[in-house]
């Protein structure tokens, strides 16, 4: 009988070892993140970091295309967003999004091969909205994504449907259950990093805008109506945020007080904007696609897929460890309008930017006009730039003066983008130029820059 006992003991040992293998085996590494003595340490598993590194490699860059030649809007039939790009740049953009979103399926993931202008595939309609969403993130949510920005690859990574999305869960009526309302607790959900917390923190906090703060600010209860259950919901969201970024709570908080902003890290501020950004994108962009997605893409409640912190971050403290792909894809950066190379607009000269008829869009060769001005302003911190906007004599005077002002504003924005404080830019009142005896002078539509 000794043998069977020995054998069964052996199996107990094997089973225990197998169970333990599910935990993270030592050694783990700790990195001090806050001031000494604050206990704000990050705990990492070096083996997991190795696999993370491979996940965050950038795809091969795509060679730049020439900005010359006809515009996409002039050559193609149904281009609503990217018409200002040259045909070369537009094609490069199509190649890029194909490799980011549908590398296996190719162009026909979004296009009807018989007619590329056709909008009958829902994926093309979604993709057009996605271009707008990406531009919106990069231009209006710099408080979160900084200059690093995002491209389609940040979320998609070669998949049509990003890996991390969420849907509304079926709500149980709290009053009808014999066992009481458990709010999705103890269901081993990855949404809350397997903690026994309410397992849908997304609907209230990233879909709706419910308050995340739960801690009272005074010793005695005076009006804080937040329940223990609501605190658990907050903790569920915090577990998701930590897991998505691959960090501990102390990346953002000092546990002496989770509420205090004074003792939190700057990253908590970035996260605060991240929460607002996720709400905005879910409502204004993904929500606006209701009715576009086919039934098999919808959740059990019939809602469209939505995003959370993991959609972009995918386990990294900054998506792709903060490497920027956006700088190689300016078409996704913002709504900065670069003019169609309109016929008859003179080439920019040092200190003079010329504009098209009725337009305040900056020409593509603008750097020629502002380059030496920016250098002079940077070399001499006391100098100021004076901008004068001019317009041609043709047309209504009041609207021409407004146009001249808009042209000056556009140049001021360009100087700002080049690192010149707008405080140092003085706008001079637009002056009406003499009508050209020979007719319309294209050189009349201009902004002159002087450094004084
Ligand atoms: C992820 C979806 C998607 C993929 C994949 C894709 N496209 Fe597009 N394509 C679009 C969208 C969206 C537009 C419209 C852009 C706009 O309105 O500014 C467009 C427009 C076009 C147009 C202009 C058609 C017209 O006449 O209006 C051409 C040409 C084109 N794509 C070619 C391609 C090629 C070639 C590929 C494969 C290398 C490709 N696309 C892959 C989404 C996609
Ligand atoms: C911030 C994250 C994010 C970014 C950036 C992003 N997407 Fe998406 N995309 C999503 C989410 C979430 C969905 C919804 C998932 C689904 O289709 O059910 C989606 C869906 C799509 C779909 C529909 C896929 C399908 O089969 O249902 C296409 C096509 C698409 N995106 C293209 C793009 C393109 C092109 C870009 C870049 C211009 C882009 N996306 C940028 C998050 C993103
Ligand atoms: C990436 C940064 C970040 C991480 C990591 C993080 N938090 Fe938070 N936490 C925040 C932000 C931002 C808020 C405030 C949210 C708001 O006001 O919308 C917050 C709020 C809270 C609150 C509510 C404070 C109050 O005023 O009532 C608690 C409690 C909390 N976090 C606990 C945790 C715990 C526990 C963890 C680890 C599981 C954690 N947090 C991880 C950023 C973070
Ligand atoms: C649209 C994609 C996207 C989404 C969604 C997103 N982030 Fe970010 N996040 C970024 C990018 C890009 C950066 C890098 C910005 C930079 O380089 O400074 C970043 C940076 C951060 C940082 C700063 C990290 C550091 O070490 O400085 C924190 C914290 C953060 N995100 C938290 C969150 C939280 C929490 C959420 C969910 C509520 C979230 N993010 C959702 C794209 C996203």
Work out the number of other CB atoms within 10 angstroms of the CB of residue 253: 21
Q: Is the CB of 297 under 6 A from ligand 2?
A: yes
Give pLDDT tens digits for 400-418.
888 888 888 888 888 887 8
CATH architecture of 352-451: 2-Layer Sandwich (3.30)
Give the distance from CA 208 to its chain's centroid: 19
Contact 223, 185 (CB under 8 A): no
Q: Of 98-102, 120-124, 175-179, give the lowest mean pLDDT range.
A: 175-179
For residue 164, give the ligand nearest its CA: 2
For residue 62, give the ligand nearest its CA: 1
Q: Pick from 254, 257, 210: which is nearest to 233 by CA?
A: 210
Q: In which band, very low, low, confident or very high, does the pLDDT at 435 lie, cut at 50, 70 and 90?
A: very low
Would you call 32 helix, strand, or coil by DSSP?
strand
For residue 90, give the ligand nearest its CA: 1
Q: Is the CB of 101 under 6 A from ligand 2?
A: yes
Give pLDDT tens digits for 244-281.
999 999 999 999 899 999 999 999 999 999 999 999 99
Report the C-alpha gap between 107 and 59 in whole angstroms. 18
Work out the number of other CB atoms within 10 angstroms of the CB of residue 343: 7
Q: Collect all residues with Cβ–Cβ distance below 8 Å to 35 and sequence separation of at least 6.
A: none
Q: Is the CB of 162 under 6 A from ligand 4?
A: no
Q: How far is the CA of 274 from the centre of ligand 4 (A)?
A: 6
Domain ranges in the chain are 352-451
Q: What is the mean pLDDT of the chain?
A: 85
Q: Pick from 225, 285, 414: which is nearest to 293 by CA?
A: 285
Residue 41: burial class (beta carbons within 10 Å; 0-12, 13-18, 19+): middle
- pTM score, two decimals? 0.78
Q: In which band, very low, low, confident or very high, does the pLDDT at 171 lie, cut at 50, 70 and 90?
A: low
Q: Is the CB of 160 under 6 A from ligand 2?
A: yes
Give pLDDT tens digits for 299-309.
988 999 999 99
Q: In which band, very low, low, confident or very high, does the pLDDT at 431 lie, cut at 50, 70 and 90?
A: low
Q: Radius of gyration over alpha carbons of the chain, in Å?
A: 28
The protein residue with its alpha carbon nearest to ligand 4, atom 30, reads: 271
Instruction: Give the per-residue pLDDT at 172.
Output: 55
Report the C-alpha gap between 442 and 357 in whole angstroms. 8
Instruction: Give the per-residue pLDDT at 176.
Output: 52
Q: Is the CB of 33 under 6 A from ligand 1?
A: no
The protein residue with its alpha carbon nearest to ligand 1, atom 41, reads: 107
The protein residue with its alpha carbon nearest to ligand 1, atom 28, reads: 116
Mean pLDDT of 316-325: 95
Instruction: Give the per-residue pLDDT at 438.
Output: 45
Q: In which band, very low, low, confident or very high, does the pLDDT at 341 lie, cut at 50, 70 and 90?
A: very low
Among the atoms of ligand 4, which is closest to the Cα of residue 266? 27
User: How do strand 29-32 and strand 41-44 relate by DSSP bridges?
Assistant: antiparallel
Give the distance from CA 279 to its chain's centroid: 12
Give pLDDT tens digits for 81-121.
999 999 999 999 999 999 999 999 999 999 999 999 999 99
């Amino acid at each position: 009988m000794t043998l069977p006992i020995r054998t069964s003991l052996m199996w107990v040992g094997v089973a225990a070892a197998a169970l333990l293998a599910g935990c993270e085996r030592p050694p783990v590494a700790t990195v001090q993140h806050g001031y000494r003595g604050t206990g704000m340490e990050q705990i990492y598993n070096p083996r997991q970091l190795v696999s993370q590194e491979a996940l965050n490699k950038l795809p091969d860059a795509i060679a730049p295309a020439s900005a010359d030649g006809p515009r996409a809007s002039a050559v193609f039939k149904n281009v609503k967003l990217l018409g200002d790009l040259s045909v070369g740049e537009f094609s490069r953009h199509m190649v890029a999004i194909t490799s980011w979103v549908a590398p296996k399926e190719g162009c026909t993931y979004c296009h009807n091969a018989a007619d590329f202008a056709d909008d009958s595939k829902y994926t093309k309609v979604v993709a057009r909205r996605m271009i707008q969403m990406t531009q919106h993130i990069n231009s209006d949510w710099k408080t979160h994504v900084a200059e690093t920005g995002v491209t389609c690859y940040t979320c998609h990574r070669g998949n049509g449907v990003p890996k991390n999305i969420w849907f509304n869960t079926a709500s149980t009526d709290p009053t009808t259950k014999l066992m009481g309302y458990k709010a999705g607790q103890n269901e081993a959900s990855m949404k809350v990093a397997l903690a026994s917390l309410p397992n849908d923190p997304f609907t209230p906090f990233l879909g709706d805008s419910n308050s995340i703060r739960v801690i009272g600010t005074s010793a005695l209860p005076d009006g804080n109506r937040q329940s223990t259950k609501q605190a658990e919901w907050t903790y569920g969201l915090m577990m998701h945020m930590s897991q998505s970024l691959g960090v501990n709570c102390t990346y953002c908080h000092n546990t002496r007080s989770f509420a205090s902003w004074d003792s939190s890290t700057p990253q908590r501020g970035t996260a605060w904007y991240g929460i607002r950004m996720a709400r905005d994108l879910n409502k204004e962009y993904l929500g606006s696609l209701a009715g576009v997605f086919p039934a098999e893409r919808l959740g059990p409640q019939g809602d469209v897929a939505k995003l959370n912190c993991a959609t972009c971050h995918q386990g990294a403290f900054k998506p792709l460890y903060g490497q920027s792909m956006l700088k190689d894809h300016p078409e996704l950066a913002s709504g900065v309008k670069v003019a169609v190379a309109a016929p008859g607009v003179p080439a920019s000269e040092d200190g003079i930017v010329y504009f098209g008829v009725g337009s305040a869009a900056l020409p593509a060769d603008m750097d020629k006009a502002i380059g030496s001005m920016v250098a002079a302003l940077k070399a001499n911190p006391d100098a100021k730039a004076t901008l004068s906007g001019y317009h041609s004599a043709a047309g209504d005077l009041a609207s021409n003066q407004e146009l001249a002002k808009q042209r000056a504003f556009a140049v001021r924005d360009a100087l700002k983008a080049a690192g010149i404080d707008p405080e140092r830019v003085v706008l001079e009142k637009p002056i009406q130029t003499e009508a050209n005896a020979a007719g319309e002078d294209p050189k009349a539509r201009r902004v002159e820059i002087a450094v004084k």
